[in-house]
Structure 1
Amino acid sequence: MTAPPAQPEPAKGGDDMATLAKGGRTNTMGFVIRALGGIPFLFIGYRLYGVEEMGRFAAAFVIIEIFALICALGEKRGLAQRLTEGTEEEGVPQTNLVFDGMLTSFLFSLAACALLLAFPVIIFPSGTNSPFDIWMIAAIPAFALTEILLAAQAYKYDIATTVRARAITEPWTKSIAVAAIFFIPVVSEGGLALAYVTAIYAALATALWSFLKTYGWPKGWRPRPRYLGKMTARALPLIGADVIERGTRLLDVFLLGQSASAGAVGIYFFAKEVVSVPQKLKTSFEPILSPVITKNLKSGNYAAIASQVQKVGFWIIALQLGIALALVIPGEAVMGLGGPAIVGGTGALAILLAAEVVASMAVVSESVLVYIARKRNLAISVGIIALQGVLTVSLILLAERLGLNEGFKAAGAALALFIALLTSSLVKALVLKILLKAPVGNLRLALFWASAPAIMVGIGFTFLPEWVELVFGVPAILAVYLAVIWKRGFSADERQLFSRKVVAVETDEPTAEKAA
């Protein structure tokens, strides 16, 4: 399928939008919990283990995630389509289809682990912190299987399991484990790696528990080599899209690691981890969006898809912009959590947060393009990551030639990411608009109305002690921003959708602001 029909049927979308809004509420709560759970890991890691140690951990972490995403076989989005089509076309139980994906993913994971064990320099270009670091490779199969299990739950409109696994279990386990292991002499030096692996497997256990309660064990399941081969071949564009989308967030760390010290990478990684909180808010919408999109694709309801892209895109950018303001205005205080040496990365933090805001449209657009224009989407993604790579290397070399310090190298890597993600959003939104023959923009004037008072409140807090900025300033900025965006940005029907009392409402009425 490469183009929509000439006359799409009108959007009905009440139940679908209510489902997406429920996912939005859950994701917002998950963001708060994830923020509270992730910050201790950064604080403990940088304070107890050191900046260079965290830099080496970061270099390994980015490679592990890339391999894990490859091994997940694009099932984060592809599974929804297989479940929608498979039960009717083949008569295969849904549980069996999920296990097909899990088996294939596990086999790919074993191959990836073998490769990295044979050539550990791939993930440890600057050496290791301890002999225990090699255990990070064991996280690959667990990470990949968790992605599939969470996608299966999302198909049943269960986004709460994703929040439990990724926003509660994983960050809190990692934070608790890294502190506990530090005080165990035998394994103390491997605390970062062991805490990471423990957290990934804890998230897997959380996802598996919910999956078995929802789907149960497979019945009459057996491996089907021919089907698994077809499934893998069909998934290649999705794998490419997933890896490239995540790769744009990891390429900067990788390239910076090739030309800067472990300490510089450690500082940059701190900023990246802070930014990962609003980033997860955006990407965690994908699993709940995928089943809604695939069902509308099956019925040819492209008008509904365009409406969903517009609304969900606005919800995401509205939340992300507020979070970005709350983190960037007291940026020095936020970076100071990692220690005085980390404060130099405040500029990179500001650029990275801006990059995530402009990336929201690309992510939502891609959620549709991977189904209606897979190859075209993949080609765009390849071009974007190539652009980012060229810009990153060029800006790092420019900083070296001008004799600037490593902080400017980090800022250059962040700026390259910003330009790449902005380009991606503009191009993918345009392509989607053409294919759906309907507007998909996510900008509303209320974003600017809400930002102005939030910025003024935030600037006021910068004149106070840093602990006041963090404890009171961050919530105050968010509160002011959210109050305005809720009143001026969300239409009456959207506010009803986000109310727990409403199950579904029609959403064909005009929004409070015209989408840009």
Structure 2
Amino acid sequence: MVKGGRTSFVGYLLRLAARFPFLFIAGRLYGAEALGRFAYATMVVELVAMLATLGLKRGLAEDMTRRPHDEAGALIDALLAGLIASLIGTALLVALPQLVFPATQLHSLDRWFALIIPFIALADIALAGLAFHHDIGAQVRARSIIEPWVLSIAALALAFTAWKSDGMLIAYLLSMAAAFFAALPPAFRRFGWPRGWRFDPLRVWRLVKINVPLAGADIAEWGARRLDIFILGRFASAEVVGIYFVAQQIASLPQRLKSSFDPILGPVLTRNIAAGNMAKAAGHVRQISFWVAAAQLGVVLALGIPGQAIMGLFGPIFAAGVAVLAALLTVELFAAQAAVAEGGLIYVARGANLVWSLVGLIVQAGLSLVLVPMDGPFGGGVGAALALAIAALLQSVGKSRLLQARLGHKVSGWRPSLLLAGIPAFGVGLLALRTPEPIQLSIGFFAILGTYGFIIWRFGFKGADRLLFTRGLKKIEDEAASLPLAPSLDKL
């Protein structure tokens, strides 16, 4: 887990470096309105791609645990199920492109934009299979290097051509296709083609049926991250959606750190839970919770305090979204514990986890419908962000307590050292705000991050906490890998 977590952390840093160039290109060369149209269209196709994975991004690890001598067959079954589901979703959106581009004039490319869905879904499933063997390098290459940099480079190049009106959409298609071709070959090299494999509709159907709760939880979690844009797009202009999207992308950078640990947490937990080691499973959850919280808090402070200057980088009009950025960064602090806890709940309490996810989604939707249409400081984008923050706090408390009850051991990763490091860093940030914006974005940003990092490393990271950054130490990973792959998870 340590080695994989370290690789995932590097991948997170690469994503962080690649995200800003695209947002800068989109804001400066395409504008807020075009960016809003792009945001809504990609939201729809990614939703359908999420549906098409059928929960197998996380459920595949469990299926491979049950079939230790037929892992290649498990992967092929998952890919086949995902392909069928994605083709159904693609056909629907090709027939009804208005679902992807509502209330806007359709361009020649728009009808066929949904053809990218199978590429997204199958790449995610293939990477989940590799993650079962702690092969996170393929995910880092596909999702942290190839996908974001192809997107940025293609968007930049197309901005100066006759295809500029569809430039961001074409760049998105190219990036997802490139990630697909970076994900599948490593998976087939790792697993090969299963010997004696035959298509069995009943076996594939059982796989889908088992993972329905996971798919529901995935959709609920994903919906919580996209419902705000969906509702905002119904009550606000494309320009407002574009500003919100930039704030959301910046604020989601801390969240992407947590998602970097998903491929590692799943396999480790399945092995420990299958062996009945609930205490060790809870220990892994606590460890990753702290790693994620510690890194997220530092990034949130560094991005949030000079938020107006950061938003202004993408164009003067985007600086108006600083309040939205502050609210969305708060969301990430609340959501971190819920997201990590869900990584354990999907193996011990799928039904209850789904219920909590749906409750959070309902709360967010209700609050959004009340706040977003309002005039004043709590309406529009700020209202959408506040609704998301309240729902995230509710789920953080509920899911953490539920997992603790099921495992019988503490799972929270929050420690007093987080506040010990956060308060001085906040003070440094307030001093940085007294300087010109270029100073805030350079010296101020790194002063906040450096102050926080030094204190949390000196007083917060002890013993096992430092394994994430120490090469050659694989105690946790080796310990988990040595556990029997007992086929008892289906009884949980």
TM-score, normalised to structure 2, is: 0.94
Q: Name the aligned partner's letter for residue 362 of structure 1.
A: A
How many angstroms does 1:63 deviate by? 1.3
Name the counterpart of 1:206: 182
Q: 2:25 aligns with which of 20, 37, 44?
A: 44
Match of 1:478 in 2: 449
Say if 2:58 is the partner of 1:81: no
The question of whether the paired residues in 1 share the 8 Å contact of 2:232 and 2:384 is answered with yes
C-alpha contact 1:351 1:414 (8 A) present in aligned 2: yes
Spell out the pairing of 1:68-147 with structure 2 (5 A cutoff). 68-87=49-68, 91=69, 93-128=70-105, 130-147=107-124
Contact map agreement 2:3 2:477 (CA 8 A) in 1: no
Q: CA deviation at 1:287?
A: 1.4
Partner of 1:14: none
Task: Specify the code of the residue in structure 1 equivalent to 2:456.
Answer: I
Q: How does 1:275-354 map to 2 (within 5 A)?
A: 275-354=251-330
Q: Who is 1:7 aligned against? A: none
Between Structure 1 and Structure 2, how many residues are aligned? 479
Residue 465 of structure 1 pairs with residue 465 of structure 2: no
1:196 aligns with 2:172: yes
Q: Between 457-466 and 344-353, report the one with greater CA deviation.
A: 457-466
- Relative to structure 1, the CA distance from residue 366 to residue 66 in structure 2 (aligned partners, 3 Å threshold; closer, same or farther) is same
Give the conservation status (yes or no) of the 8 Å contact 2:425–2:448.
yes
**Following the alignment from structure 1 to structure 2, what is the Cα–Cα distance between the partners of residues 446 and 303?**
23
Is 2:406 the partner of 1:429? no
> Which residue is equivalent to 2:35?
54
- Using the TM superposition, give the Cα deviation of residue 128 of structure 1 relative to its aligned residue in structure 2, in angstroms: 4.9
Whether contact under 8 Å (1:41, 1:174) holds in the other structure is yes
Equivalent residue in structure 2 for 1:493, among 430, 449, 464:
464
Q: In the alignment, what sits opposite 2:225? A: 249
| Shift in CA distance, 449/205, structure 1 to aligned 2, threshold 3 Å | same
Contact 1:497 1:503 in 2 (8 A): no
Query: Corresponding residue for 1:13?
Result: none
Aligned residues of 2:34 and 2:238 also touching (Cα < 8 A): yes
RMSD: 1.8
- Tell me the alpha carbon deviations over residues 469-513 of structure 1, each in whole angstroms, 9 at most, x when there is no partner: 2233222221221111111111123224531132327999xxxxx
Matched AA of 1:485: I
- Following superposition, the deviation at residue 456 of structure 1 comes to 2.0
| Larger mean Cα displacement after TM superposition, 380-389 or 117-126 | 117-126
* Cα-to-partner distance string for 1:147-180 (whole Å, 9 max, x where unaligned): 1111111101112222221111111110000011
Verify the 8 A CA contact 1:56 1:128 in the aligned structure 2: no
Q: Does 1:445 find its partner at 2:416?
A: yes
CA distance in 1 between partners of 2:446 and 2:80 (Å) = 45
Shift in CA distance, 444/47, structure 1 to aligned 2, threshold 3 Å: same
Residue 230 in 1 paired to residue 206 in 2? yes
Report the 3-state secondary structure (helix = DSSP H, G, I; strand = E; otherwise coil) of the residue aligned with 2:169.
helix
Distance 1:82 1:446 in 2: 39
The question of whether the paired residues in 1 share the 8 Å contact of 2:5 and 2:264 is answered with no
Equivalent in the alignment of 1:151: 128
Q: Check if 1:219 corresponds to 2:200.
A: no
Q: 1:182 aligns with which of 122, 140, 159?
A: 159
Question: In the alignment, what sits opposite 1:5?
Answer: none
SS of 1:441's partner is coil
How big is the shift at 1:308? 0.9
Preserved CA contact (<8 Å) 1:429 1:440: yes
Q: Is the 8 A contact 1:331 1:350 kept in 2?
A: yes
Deviates more, 1:208-217 or 1:302-311: 208-217
CA offset digits 1:285-326 (Å, max 9, x no partner): 111110111111111111111111111111111111111111
Aligned twin of 2:487:
none
Task: Tell me how far apart the structure 1 counterparts of residues 182 and 448 of structure 2 sit (CA, whole Å).
Answer: 34
Secondary structure at the aligned position of 1:131 is classed as coil
Tell me, in whole angstroms, the C-alpha distance in 2 between the residues paired with 1:210 and 1:40: 28
Give the structure 2 partner of residue 356 of structure 1.
332
Length-normalised TM-score, structure 1: 0.90
Given that residues 5 and 468 in structure 2 are in contact (C-alpha distance below 8 angstroms), is that contact kept between their aligned partners in structure 1?
no
2: CA distance, partners of 1:494 / 1:331: 30
Indicate the SS of the match to 2:472: coil
Runs of 5+ consecutive residues of structure 1 not aligned to the other structure: 1-18, 509-516
For 2:77 and 2:478, the matched residues in 1 are separated by 37
Aligned partner of residue 183 in structure 2, secondary structure: helix
- Code of the aligned partner of 2:417: A
Counterpart amino acid of 1:57? F
Task: Indicate the percent of aligned positions where both proteins have the same amino acid.
Answer: 42
Contact 2:291 2:465 in 1 (8 A): no
| Alignment correspondent of 2:384 | 413
CA distance in 2, matches of 1:507, 1:323: 31
Match of 2:5 in 1: 24
* 1:365 paired to 2:341: yes
Equivalent-residue separation in structure 2 for 1:494 and 1:142 (angstroms): 37
